[in-house]
Amino acid sequence: MTTLSAAGSEAAARSESARLTDGFHLVVEALKVNDIETIYGVVGIPITDLARIAQASGIRYIGFRQETSAGNAAAAAGFLTRRPGVCLTVSAPGFLNGLVALANATTNCFPMIQISGSSNRTLVDLQQGDYGELDQLNAARPFAKAAYRINRVQDIGRGVARAIRTAVSGRPGGVYLDIPGDVLGQAMEAAAAADTIWRVVDPAPRQLPAPEAVDRALDLLAQAQRPLIVLGKGAAYAQADNVIRDFVETTRIPFLPMSMAKGLLPDSHPQSAAAARSLAIARADTVLLVGARLNWLLGHGESPQWSADAKFVQVDIAASEFDSNRPIAAPLAGDIGSVMSALLNGAATRRIVAPADWTNELADRKATNDAAMRRRLADNPHPMRFYNALGAIRSVLQDNPDVYVVNEGANTLDLARNVIEMDAPRHRLDTGTWGVMGIGMGYAIAAAVETGKPVVAIEGDSAFGFSGMEIETICRYRLPVTVVILNNGGVYRGDEVSSACGTDPAPTVLNARARHELIAEAFGGKGYHVVTPAELRSALTAAIASNAPSIIDCELDPAAGVESGHLASLNPTSAATPVSADA
């Protein structure tokens, strides 16, 4: 029986607890106040309630089947929105799976925050053998732009603010935020807790270039006989599309888009030098790099790919990037929007215009190469090979210019990058700086969730395997994602003869008869199996129009494709003489 005084003290306790909050709620509040609308993750100990509370409070939670894909989705969200994408992971192995994506985000300069639950410090630090025990903070440090741990409930707002600021300011990157389970469960008086949370003001401040640096760059461009602009994914990320376009068109300097900068200006733009890439690179005497690093993707800027005499002007928010490979004659440290505005003003005043004999030289080469490409695409071998499959995809995407394209694989990436034209900025997501496989489904999910637009992922059959189980995620959330699998049955190609004594397949061989479309059907999506370009065209048209999940398994000749795609030269060759089995 409840006495009056007992009822009174229960009520008092209730009102007391009503005035309390805890770590879970504070993380969610701190994210919300900073406009985080979506969390990508995999739940488990100790963060399951965090996902529930986030969902209840109006943050969208997208639950994945494996953390690397959740992290890749967060990274892609960061690239698309300029706000940090958030990934939520459980302790130890879940954290480590997510860390792969955090490292990839940092390498690609995408803003991302991985929030991970972890074991309680007292147990981890004395290595007492806790469930999911791992010193996650120190494990994350080398792979992230920064790594922080929140040790007290009253530091949650500060920790989230610090993570957001670090992820998006300067050169964007991945931030690790460690929250031990006991901190999530800690209670705090709600009114006091409200004061510990704040909204970050101007998280990625503009960084204006020094006037003398702008003059130095303009001097070089004004003297150039064969100037070239290289647009990288930093330029796409910066969302300075109009000023970049104005600068390119005012100066009439040919431009070369790196793969994720395709569409910043349409690939059909008359000044695009993409179809004359080798000539443009070899002959340019002055190169303006805009948000593109002179790394392996640009041959480190070295001759003979580039002219040994070429001078480089580089626009980058990270001054430490300059001189990483070749000397940078005119470094321009600042954010791309501000720097390109300053260059545009100066170029107009000085009337900088690319010489016509240079633009004509490139136009001639483009015409020749375009004709060769048209012939390749018109070729119609049976079974299908890469070019005729990609030709079919290209024609459908030309009719659907708002589609987001995700692309991974070896040959599938190398060839699709050239064949598939982009019209709109930030509509192409691919393997990026590491050339990594496994980003496919995570990136596709983020593109669909963040934009609401249809997504077509063009996948090699091997590349698809790294994140293929996320088809279930795509189907569960009914996302408008079409996965086209160019299935030649192997890593690179599927016809290698095994040198094993028994029946094991060769190392590069998968299964050319695999019916990937059945995976979509297993989870309620639509499956198509196609063997001709005409079938592919009609399946892809229907799949995009359906606005629903689907897989198109596209059966290719297992002999189509070359080892390592365009990167065969990066393979070291074995110096050892093969030893015969009976030696």
* Shortest CB 298 distance to ligand ADP, Å: 7
- Among 97, 81, 108, smallest CA distance to 140 is for 97
Q: CB nearer to ligand ADP: give 291 or 565.
A: 291
Does residue number 113 form part of the binding site for ligand ADP (CB under 6 A)? no
* Shortest CB 407 distance to ligand ADP, Å: 14
- Among 229, 347, 247, smallest CA distance to 284 is for 229
> How many whole angstroms from its chain centre is CA 478?
22
Does residue number 75 form part of the binding site for ligand ADP (CB under 6 A)? no
Size of the site for ligand ADP (CB under 6 A): 24
Measured from each CB, the residue nearest to ligand ADP is 234
* Shortest CB 235 distance to ligand ADP, Å: 7
Cβ count near 187 (within 10 Å) = 13
Under 8 Å between Cβ of 234 and 292: yes
Phi, psi at 420, each rounded to 5°: -85, 115
Q: Is 376 exposed, middle or buried (0-12, 13-18, 19+ CB in 10 A)?
A: middle
- Say if strands 112-118 and 174-180 run parallel, antiparallel, or are unpaired: parallel
In whole angstroms, what is the distance from residue 285 CA to residue 381 CA?
41
Q: CB nearer to ligand ADP: give 145 or 293.
A: 293
Size (the chain), residues: 583
Window contacting ligand ADP (CB under 6 A); options: 116-124, 227-235, 457-465, 531-539: 227-235
Identify the residue among 316, 414, 472, 553 touching ligand ADP (CB under 6 A).
316
Does residue number 313 form part of the binding site for ligand ADP (CB under 6 A)? no
238-297 residues near ligand ADP, rule: CB under 6 A? 238, 258, 260-261, 291-293, 295, 297
Does residue number 540 form part of the binding site for ligand ADP (CB under 6 A)? no
Does residue number 232 form part of the binding site for ligand ADP (CB under 6 A)? yes
Phi, psi at 352, each rounded to 5°: -75, 120
* Shortest CB 297 distance to ligand ADP, Å: 5
Does residue number 335 form part of the binding site for ligand ADP (CB under 6 A)? yes
- Among 513, 337, 473, smallest CA distance to 62 is for 473
Q: Is 324 exposed, middle or buried (0-12, 13-18, 19+ CB in 10 A)?
A: middle
Q: CB nearer to ligand ADP: give 95 or 312.
A: 312
* Shortest CB 207 distance to ligand ADP, Å: 8
* Shortest CB 252 distance to ligand ADP, Å: 23
3-state helix, strand, coil in the chain (%, to 5): 45, 15, 35
Q: CB nearer to ligand ADP: give 293 or 537.
A: 293
Q: CB nearer to ligand ADP: give 159 or 232.
A: 232
Sequence-distant (≥ 6) Cβ neighbours of residue 275 within 8 angstroms: 365, 366, 369, 370, 373
* Shortest CB 334 distance to ligand ADP, Å: 7
* Shortest CB 411 distance to ligand ADP, Å: 20
Sequence-distant (≥ 6) Cβ neighbours of residue 88 within 8 angstroms: 39, 40, 41, 42, 43, 47, 50, 51, 70, 114, 115, 116
Q: What letters, b where the CB count within 10 A reaches 16 and e where it falls short, cover 236-265? A: bbbbbbebbbebbeebbbbbbbbbbbbbbb
7-36 residues near ligand ADP, rule: CB under 6 A? none
* Shortest CB 174 distance to ligand ADP, Å: 13
Q: CB nearer to ligand ADP: give 332 or 393.
A: 332
422-481 residues near ligand ADP, rule: CB under 6 A? 433
Identify the residue among 24, 95, 176, 237 touching ligand ADP (CB under 6 A).
237
- Say if strands 20-22 and 187-189 run parallel, antiparallel, or are unpaired: antiparallel
Q: Which amino acid is residue 223, in one-letter code?
A: Q
91-110 residues near ligand ADP, rule: CB under 6 A? 108-109
Q: CB nearer to ligand ADP: give 293 or 365.
A: 293
In whole angstroms, what is the distance from residue 283 CA to residue 227 CA?
9
Under 8 Å between Cβ of 253 and 344: no
Under 8 Å between Cβ of 226 and 355: yes
Identify the residue among 111, 174, 227, 234 touching ligand ADP (CB under 6 A).
234
Q: CB nearer to ligand ADP: give 171 or 453.
A: 171
* Shortest CB 474 distance to ligand ADP, Å: 27
Window contacting ligand ADP (CB under 6 A); options: 149-157, 232-240, 400-408, 557-565: 232-240
Does residue number 168 form part of the binding site for ligand ADP (CB under 6 A)? no
SS3 189: strand
> How many whole angstroms from its chain centre is CA 135?
27
Identify the residue among 171, 252, 269, 566 touching ligand ADP (CB under 6 A).
171
* Shortest CB 273 distance to ligand ADP, Å: 15
Q: CB nearer to ligand ADP: give 217 or 554.
A: 217
Q: Enumerate binding residues for ligand ADP (CB under 6 A).
A: 108-109, 171-172, 232-234, 237-238, 258, 260-261, 291-293, 295, 297, 316-318, 321, 335-336, 433
